[in-house]
Structures are given as structure tokens and as C-alpha cells.
A = this chain, B = another copy of it.
Amino acid sequence: MRMMEEKILSEGSVLPGGILKVGSFLNQQIDTCFLKEIGEEIARLFSNDHVTKILTIESSGIAIAAAAGIAMGVPMVFAKKHKSSNVDGEVYSALVHSFTKNTDYNVVVSRDYLTGADRVLLVDDFLAAGNAFNGLLELCRQAGAEVVGFSAAIEKGFQRGGDKLREKGYKVESLAVIGSMTDSEIVFRT
């Protein structure tokens, strides 16, 4: 998606530790006109995959998943990062390691909202090592739901998480794939 690459180049910045800051348009602040186009692009990429549900993870995946859900006309579900008091009953749960925050956390989703009848598209803002997506994949495995693919707004291709999923046979469609990144230069994979 050319517009995503242009936004990253014009508004993004690389912070120490290899963190790509896109807070001015994709998380923290969200350009909602752009968000609508992101949702429509994800819907286009998976238009033939009979998606019944979109699954993401709080917090920064929610707006993108909501826009995709609106464009596709399917419900979206967000996994929570800990068992909260307003999720009752049984949940599916998986452990995820966050490199950004250097912590482990559980992703949980109520059994009510993910079932064996679902064909699930996994959506997030970033795909790097793939830990968050692998946690969501594990939730789907527990639910017996079929995973039809993955879509990230931005994939850090050099961290290989997306390619590992592709090597397993999954459809992975990221809106921009960064091949290499330094403080002064961002190069996209073509």
C-alpha cells in the first residue's frame, strides 16, 4: 500500500532501540481518513477468503481491526492482555513475550467470542518477530477456529516473523514491509 509507505517516510521516525514511531497517524494519534482506507485495503486483500471474524490484541490493533471489520462487515474481537474482571467465565489464554516492553503477558479471549465455526483474520498494527500473532494463533488453535491469514499495517521484514508465518503456508498481507531500517533510512521490501 503505497500510502502506508509514504506516511511512514513523511511522518514516522526511528527511536533508539529500533522502535519505529508512528504515533502521529497510526497509534496514539490516528488519522481516521487514512484508517478508513487501511480498513478498505485489508478488506480488498482478503475479499475471497470468507472471513467471519477479525481478531486483534489490545490496544493499538483495535482501531485497525475495527476499520477492517467495518469494511468487511464482520465482527471483530480483541484479546486482552490480562484476565480482567469484566470477562467472566472461561477464556482461551496464551503467553506472549513483548520485546518492546521486555515483559511476558497473557493474551486472553472469552470462549464465547471465538469458536470452531470461525474463519479468522488476525490483524495488528505491527508484525516484527511475530510473538503477538503467534499468541493469537494459539488462541485460535484452542478454539478450533480456522486462521485464514494475517494482516499488519507495518511489517518489520528484517525481524522475520512474517516470513516464518509465510513458510508455514499462511497468507500474510502487510500494508508496508520494511526491509531494513536505520536512524537515517527506511528501505521497503518490494
Contact = CB atoms under 8 A, between A and B. Distances in A.
Interface of A: 15, 17, 19, 21, 23-24, 27-33, 35-36, 58-59, 62-63, 66-67, 69-70, 72-78, 80, 84-88, 100-101, 109-110, 112-113
Contact of A21 (B27, B70, B78, B88): B88
A98 to B, nearest CB: 10
Given A24-B112, A59-B59, A67-B66, A86 B30 contact: no
Contacts of A100: 84-86
Nearest to A101: B85
Q: How many copies does the complex hold?
A: 2
A120 to B, nearest CB: 12
Nearest to A25: B75
Nearest to A55: B29
Contacts of A58: 58-59
A41 to B, nearest CB: 14
A160 B32 CA distance: 32
Contacts of A72: 32
Given A23-B87, A30-B77, 8 more contacts: A19-B85, A24-B112, A28-B110, A30-B76, A32-B66, A35-B70, A59-B80, A84-B101
